[in-house]
Amino acid sequence: MSTKTAPQMDIHNVLGTDRSSRHGRRWKLWIIVVCLAVAVLLLVEMWLFAKKDGQTQYKTQEVTRGNLTVLVTATGTLQPTNTVSVGSELSGILKTVEANYNDHVKVGQVLARLDTQKLEAQLIQSKAALESAKAKVLQTQATVVETRAKLLQLQKVRELSKNRVPSQSDIDAAQAAFDRAKADAASAEAAVTQAQGTHQANALDLSKAVIRSPINGIVLTRSIEPGQTVAASYQAPVLFTLAEDLAHMQLHVNIDEADVGKVNKRQKATFSVSAYPHRTFEGEITQVRYGSSTTSGVVTYETVLSVNNANMLLRPGMTATADIIISKLENVTLIPAAALRFTPSVQQNDAAGDGESLMGKILPHPPRPSSTQQNTADRSKTQQTVWTLRDGKPAAITITTGATNGIMTQVTAGDIQPGMKLVIDTETKGK
């Protein structure tokens, strides 16, 4: 018996089938089960914490009551009310230039002078030609008197001789000489008129050699220097550019076609220029032109504003950004424009977690209809949907909007009261 029991015990020891080993395996199994349960609990706790930590928070802004100013913004350039380009009708060499940049000039003031030696010589020639033509007139007039007297003498002799002498041919010759003398006299008088015209033209050219200011104003540009040659062959070259009065200027801005219907004559505007970034200037619309211009596919209409520049701070060519005041509304209900742009997602709009188990959240189910899409499809152009918080969840409110300046919008109808908070954006807590 002893010899049989020993091998059996060795076999149980090798195979591990004794009672103590079976008992140890049960404990190991329980330990594994407990560890798995603890791990599942930790994962669930972490999931719930992450869900709570990442829940959606809403940014809100209150509804207010106040004044609203509607603006149209446009850019343009400042220009003088009247700009005159002063040129020269004559060709020649500039002898002197008597005006410089920024000089204030008056009507008739000398700006520049051309060399007049050639013009003076031409004037002397034309004057001599005029005197010669006048002398020719005297000569032809004497011939007329002479031929007339000879014709009268022949006619008297023929009358006294009872048509016997002189002959008819002699009388005809005398008559022809008299007619030729009168024609020569008329031609001489015409030559005098022509010579007078040439003389006056030369005198006028000589006067134009002195370039004078046609207006009271200021010199904006000067494109000549003494000694330069002016060539006025086909068109008059521009020597000076004068601005009539910089105390009153114009601002030319381009209004987009979407805003031109709101812009009218006599509307007020404020504008700024880069030279004075912390200062604003005032203007008034004087003209909205019907002619359009297209740049990169954008259609704009030029609008002119009158500007008072008594302090002479503004200069022609400055780029200005103008805010045209379209309308002013007082004591109206205002909401932030961002509230009109906010739309909650389907997940935010759903009642997340209300009576739904974890398995219900995991298992798929048909999507719920979006009330936002339904509201958007039903509302009109002037009706908008804004959202407020009720029990921490967004609730839709349908309103009718009016004017807006891009930041605040007028509400003309709807269940909106000052002090009510509207949702303008979302943020995730802890992220």
pLDDT in tens, 81-105: 999 999 999 999 999 999 999 999 9
Q: How far apart are CA 416 and CA 335, in angstroms?
A: 9
pLDDT at 42: 80
Q: How far apart are CA 292 and CA 255, in angstroms?
A: 10
Question: What is the distance of C-alpha 238 from the center of its chain?
Answer: 27
288 lies in the same domain as 155: no
Q: How far apart are CA 182 and CA 148, in angstroms?
A: 9
The predicted-structure confidence for 156-204, as pLDDT tens digits, reads as follows 998 888 888 888 899 999 999 999 999 999 999 999 999 999 999 999 9
pLDDT at 245: 87
Domain enclosing residue 292, as ranges: 71-81+248-329
Of 230, 260, 286, the last residue of a domain is 230
Is 38 inside a domain boundary? no
Give the length of the chain: 431
The token pair at 305 is 């504003």
Give the contacts of 90 (CB within 8 A, at least 6 positions apart). 114, 119, 205, 208, 209, 230, 232
Phi, psi angle pair for 429, to nearest 5°: -65, 135
Tell me the average pLDDT across 207-229: 93
The token pair at 313 is 């701070």
Is 308 inside a domain boundary? yes
Q: pLDDT-based confidence at 292, cuts 50/70/90?
A: very high
Long-range contacts of 118-127 (CB under 8 A, 24+ apart): 118/92, 119/90, 119/92, 119/202, 119/205, 119/206, 119/209, 120/206, 122/202, 122/205, 123/199, 123/202, 123/203, 123/206, 125/202, 126/195, 126/198, 126/199, 126/201, 126/202, 127/199
The token pair at 337 is 């424009």
293 lies in the same domain as 201: no
Q: How far apart are CA 358 and CA 48, in angstroms?
A: 10
**Number of domains composing the chain:** 3
Of 183, 204, 230, the last residue of a domain is 230
The predicted-structure confidence for 307-329, as pLDDT tens digits, reads as follows 999 999 999 999 999 999 999 99
Q: pLDDT-based confidence at 427, cuts 50/70/90?
A: confident
105 lies in the same domain as 124: yes
Of 201, 230, 259, the last residue of a domain is 230
92 lies in the same domain as 226: yes
For residue 322, which of 254, 258, 247, 265 has the smallest C-alpha distance?
254
For residue 422, which of 384, 385, 372, 388 has the smallest C-alpha distance?
388
Q: In this model, does residue 33 exceed pLDDT 50?
A: yes
341 lies in the same domain as 319: no
Q: How far apart are CA 205 and CA 40, in angstroms?
A: 109
Contact 387, 61 (CB under 8 A): no
pLDDT at 38: 81
26 vs 414, more confident: 414
156 lies in the same domain as 167: yes
DSSP string, 224-283: --TTPEE--SSSPPEEEEEES-TTEEEEEEEEETTTGGG--TT-EEEEEETTEEEEEEEE
216 lies in the same domain as 103: yes
CATH number where 298 lies: 2.40.30.170
312 lies in the same domain as 412: no
Tabulate helix, strand, coil % of the chain (nearest 5): 35, 35, 25
Is 169 inside a domain boundary? yes
Is 316 inside a domain boundary? yes
Q: How many CA atoms lie within 13 A of 365 on its CB side?
A: 8
Q: How far apart are CA 109 and CA 131, in angstroms?
A: 34
Contact 409, 69 (CB under 8 A): no
354 vs 261, more confident: 261
Q: How far apart are CA 61 and CA 69, in angstroms?
A: 20
